[in-house]
Every structure is written in structure tokens, then in C-alpha cells.
Amino acid sequence: MASVSVPTSLDGAKALDCADSLAALRAAFHLPGDLIYLDGHSLGAATHGALARIDDAAKREWAGGLIGSWNDAGWIDLPNQTGARLARLIGAAPEDVIVCDSVSVNVFKLAAAALPLAKNTRVLIVEEDEFPTDQYIVEGLSALADVKFMRAPAGEGLAALRERGGVLVKSAVNYRTAALADMAAHERAAADCGGVVIWDLSHAAGVIDLDLNACGARLATGCTYKYLNGGPGAPAYIYVRDDVAASVRSPIAGWFGHAAPFAFDAAYAPKEKAARFAAGTPPVLSLSALAGALDVFDQIDMAGAAKKTRALGDLCLARCEALGLPSPSPAIGEMRGGHICILHDNGYAIVQALAAAGVIADFRAPDAIRFGFSALYTRYQDVWRAMDELERIVKTASWDAPGFKKKNAVT
């Protein structure tokens, strides 16, 4: 274990909160009552700005402006403008990011577009512990494109890429363990073997200090409803590095990716840069919510936010270690994403018991409990109190009640 100082009491946690330079940002979020919300890695809390922006977009722009708001309210420019604002958070140039579609659709588009870039061999690679939707999409594309599909053992995607070339779809932060991928090493290997890496930034953007340009990334996508607080079902984004954009083509040639969508030409001519990966009509209300949520990020330095997030995770790990609960997440003091995973055979029931006590976490089958920490609104005292509840539930076995074992549709 790395030598890291973590608070050893509730008073110690409160003292860290008092010294926290990000503490004032908590007021920007709508956080119900005394609820301790540690599930921002699945759905980020709503900001007051996002809620106000939705209200304005619905009541004034849509209800009042009707179709004229495509021009008068700038709806047509929202995908590019919002992408440009998001670009700072992932270390990209503003014109290299566009908000569009979902991560699933974007993985498909990028993987199909990347195949012609990959030299030596046509193979699509994912690791066996990759987020399931990425695996499903890549395997499905391999059948459609008649391309070899390889599911590499966990942690061996880089070795497979070095050996075979091809296209590797890889999460920057593992959705279960929060382990960080060495993005620069992957990109160096891709350059050496003629392969391509497509990054899924869903559990990374808004919580770690990303720098796509510095690590040499060429293609990426990610969702905006987790640490970026865009709201349920908020649209995803695509990153395509400028020098790559002209040589790739989206397999979904939708009209909003056309250079002149309102010319209604029969022939397709793609837009410049990342905008060529747009497809259908953008979801204006969801985009508006995301635009409102990003206001709070304009005030922060991601390096500082990432440092606090790791400290919150260290506190969680220290308390869980004291309880004897194992964790596959990177250890105290190590680099990781914004959540901590602990393992327990009765994890689902424990998560339900926590919810009944006012602590929201989540469960991933078969035995993983995840606690997520957003530096923008999670306090050290929140983590301490949540761990107090976890300790009570585990030691008293209060989770062992029929009501806590009934599975919900969403876990």
C-alpha cells in the first residue's frame, strides 16, 4: 500500500471538506435532502443549470419559438458547440469533438471507419472484461464486415494489438475495477504495428485528467450522463483527431453529417473534421441539458478534481479494508478512475440495504458493489457516513431480509 494520509474520523473528514477548494461547487447541484449519492459513475446528479436550461429550451425555445428555434435559438449548432466545450475536459481540440448519438452507435461507427486505417490485418479486438455493449457491438460488426473477431483475456488487449495489429476497442477506465489503461503505451503500440485504438471514455471524462492529444489518441467516444451530468440518456460524443478525419468515413451517412444537409442532394458529401460522424437529427432537449451541465466544468481544473476524487476513493478503500472487504480496484495511493469496487457474495442485497439507509451505490453481477465519487459534489464526510452505514449493514447482516433480495430491473 502506498503511504497516503486518509482521515480516521468523521471530524477528520469534515476538516478536509472545510479545506476543499471545490466545496462551493456542491451548491450547483440538486441533491435531495440527506441522501448520500455515490452513483455518479452511472448517472451524475442534476445541476441547477441543466434543469433551468431544459426548462428554457422546452418552454421558450420549443413551445414559443417552434421550428424557428433551429435558427433563432441556435439548435443547429448545439452538437458542435457542446462538443467544443467538452473538448477541454478530454484534452482535445474544439473542432475534433462533436456530440451525437449513443456510445453503442459511436463505437460501431468508429470501429467500421477504423478498419481501413489498420494495416497488416483485419481483426477487431476487445478484452473479455470490456464493458459488455462494446463487446456486443464489435462482435456484431465483425460478422457484418466479415472481419475476424478476437476477445482477448483481460489486460491482454495491448499484447494482442502488438501481435496482430487490427482495431482494439478499449475503455480508458475499466467499468468494474476503475483501473486506468496506459493510453500512451497503447497508442505507441498501435503506431508500431499499424493498428488502431478506439477509446471508450465513458468512465473517464469529467473525473480524471485526460489529455488525448498528449497521449496520441486518434479516435474516441464516451457518454455524458455519468460524471458530465448530462442527464439520463444524454447523447454521447465522438473525438476524431484532425489529421485522421479526412481519411475516415462514417458507415452511417446520415443527413446531419452531410456537408450541406439542407441542399437535399442525392449524393453524400461528408462534413469536415469530427462533424462528419453526425448522423440523425440531434436531440435538442438532451443537448440543452448537457450544455447547462457543462457550465459548472468551466470553473474547474481537472487535475485538481481528479486528485480529490482519488482521495475520496482512498478513504473508501481504507474503510473497506478495515472491514475485511476485498476490492479489485487499484490500491490506496494508486491512480484509478472515479469509483471503487468491493466484492461480496450478497452485494445486491447490501446495495438495497444501503439505499434504504439513504446511501445510493450500485451493483454489478455477480458480486460487485460500486461506489462512485464526483469531486464536484461528493464530500469526505459523505464517504465516511456511507462507510459507517456499510459497516453497520455488514456487521449486523441487516441485508439478509427478503425485501433487499428482490431484484429490480435496473441494478
The catalytic residue positions are 131, 200, 225-226, 370
For residue 184, the SS3 value is helix
For residue 70, the SS3 value is helix
DSSP notation for 89-150 = HHT--GGGEEE-S-HHHHHHHHHHHHGGG--S--EEEEETTS-HHHHHHHHHHHHHHT-EEE
Contact 50, 231 (CB under 8 A): yes
Chain center to CA of 305 = 15
Cell of 69: 428555434
Cell of 261: 444537409
Beta-bridge partners for 173: 180
Q: Cα(397)–Cα(393) distance, rounded to whole angstroms? A: 6
Q: Which helix (H) or strand (E) holds 164?
A: helix 157-164
Q: How many CA atoms lie within 13 A of 53 on its CB side?
A: 23
